[in-house]
Amino acid sequence: MRDREEWNEAVKGLGGSVLQSWEWGEFRRSNGWRPMRLLGEAGAAQILLRSAPGLGAIAYAPHGPLASEGSGLGGVIEEVSERAKKEGAHLIDVEPRVDEGEFPADIGFEKIESIQPRCTLVLDVLEDAEKQLAAFPKDTRYGVRRAGREGIEAGPAGNLDEDLEAFMGLHEETAERQSFAVRPREYYRRLMRELPAHLIVAKRDGELMAGAVVLTFGAEAFYLYGASTRQGDNLYASYLTQFEALSAARGAGVKKYDMYGVPCAPTEDHPLWGVYKFKKKFGGREERYAGTHEKRLKPLQAGVFKAGMSGYAALQKLRGRGSGPVSD
């Protein structure tokens, strides 16, 4: 499969997310992954292959494979797995966006810790801003309006390069405050250049108070990254940011807005409790996916690879580096 437009139309028709888009595969190529795209009557899958010196290779299908209506997902997964094995992969991770409990049984996969968020909140993007605001819970409507009264102005970035640098600085501050890892800045610069990405900023007197990065693809928008100052939090800047992000999604022809990840079992002692409470304020319905499942295509080699990569991941964590909200 070599044609970008044909591939994306097929993925959209099967309900695939931006992580199965041509652009996402090419974006990840420059980070060491090799995209392989398989399209047939039964479905489709973009597999990302990665090799590590001395350890071999692994395969990963983020939000995939995709099965066409009437096709068995299990058969598609098995076909994709065989192809990955022929490409030299020792193991494969798949995470089709099927409901919890609907992952095919008896095909040799085991459930592992999810790579992409398994649980999320999804809002309907309504036909105009007034209806969108009216659909919010009362306290959230208050927050959006209060931000305006406090002099917050929000919308798509005016000067993308300048606003992105400011946002990345704020993102790094937020990450330190909330104890999550961030990527090098060039990663975010490339993401904005190479993907259907929107940067929404909220400012007061020209100073950045909050921001959000949203991807759009087909009928869906995905809220990937957010950041805010403490002052911005007090001024409800993030509320207005989300409201304007929904407006940007509407302008892109999107029907669903994915908050992209909440704890599946939220409790007050959960490290993402604050994130959960904020996202929950906008309403939306909870969706729970089957999560990531893994198969060791070559068991001995797969064990060596996982041990080596676990050590590498631990080292990166000690250095303060990691994937942040969107994992690999």
Residue 325 covered by a domain: no
The pLDDT of residue 75 is: 95
| 328 inside domain | no
Q: Give the pLDDT of residue 215.
A: 98
Do 264 and 138 belong to one domain?
Answer: yes
Report pLDDT for 101: 86
Which amino acid does the sequence have at 22?
W
Residues 184 and 245 in one domain: yes
Do 18 and 129 fall within a single domain? no
Q: Position of tokens 């909220």?
A: 202
pLDDT over threshold 70, residue 323: no
Domain membership flag for residue 307: yes
- For all residues of the chain together, what is the average pLDDT? 91
Query: Is residue 306 pLDDT above 80, yes or no?
Result: no
Residue 327 counted as domain residue: no
The answer on 127 and 269 residing in a single domain is yes
Mean pLDDT of 140-153: 97
Instruction: Give yes or no for residue 322 having a pLDDT over 60.
Output: no
Determine the pLDDT at residue 1: 56
pLDDT higher than 90, residue 43 = yes
Strand 119-124 to 285-288 pairing: antiparallel
CB-based contacts of 69, cutoff 8 Å, min separation 6: none
Overall average pLDDT of the 50-62 stretch: 86
Q: Is residue 197 part of a domain?
A: yes
Q: Are residues 172 and 191 in the same domain?
A: yes
pLDDT band (50, 70, 90) for residue 181: confident
Domain-embedded: residue 261: yes
pLDDT tens for 192-238 read: 999 999 999 999 999 999 999 999 999 999 999 999 999 999 999 99
Looking at residues 182-186, what average pLDDT do you find? Answer: 91
Residues 153 and 265 occupy one common structural domain: yes
309 and 265 within one domain? no
Q: What confidence score (pLDDT) does residue 317 get?
A: 55
CA distance 247 to 207: 22
Q: Which two tokens stand for residue 210?
A: 């909050």
pLDDT band of 64, cuts 50, 70, 90 = very high
pLDDT for residue 21 is more than 80? yes
Residue at 323 is within a domain:
no
pLDDT of residue 180: 75
Residues 83 and 224 in one domain: no
Q: How far is CA 164 from CA 93, 182, 303, in A?
A: 32, 15, 40
DSSP string over 120-167: EEEEE--SSHHHHHHHS-HHHHHHHHHHHHTT-EEEE-SSHHHHHHHH
Q: Which residue has the higher pLDDT, 57 or 147?
A: 147
Mean pLDDT of 258-279: 91
Residues 128 and 53 in one domain: no
Which of 323, 140, 119, 120 has the alpha carbon at shortest distance from 241? Answer: 140
Q: Which of 258, 291, 313 is nearest to 116 (CA)?
A: 291
CATH number of the CATH domain containing 28: 3.40.630.30
Predicted confidence band of residue 311 (pLDDT cuts 50, 70, 90): low
| Domain match, 226 and 177 both | yes
**Does the reported pTM lie above 0.85?**
yes
Query: 51, exposed or middle or buried, with CB in 10 Å at 0-12, 13-18, 19+?
Result: middle
- For residue 238, what are the domain limits? 119-287
Question: Average pLDDT of 237-247?
Answer: 98
Q: What is the mean pLDDT of residues 270-281?
A: 91
Q: How confident is the model at residue 126 (pLDDT cuts 50, 70, 90)?
A: very high
Based on the fold, state whether residues 281 and 210 are members of the same structural domain.
yes
- Judge whether residue 328 has pLDDT over 60: no
Whether 326 is in a domain gets the answer no
Residue predicted with more confidence, 42 or 324: 42
pLDDT of residue 326: 43
Judged on CB neighbours under 10 Å (0-12, 13-18, 19+), 283 is: middle
* Tally of domains within the chain: 2
At 318 the pLDDT is: 54
Let me know whether 66 and 147 are in one domain.
no
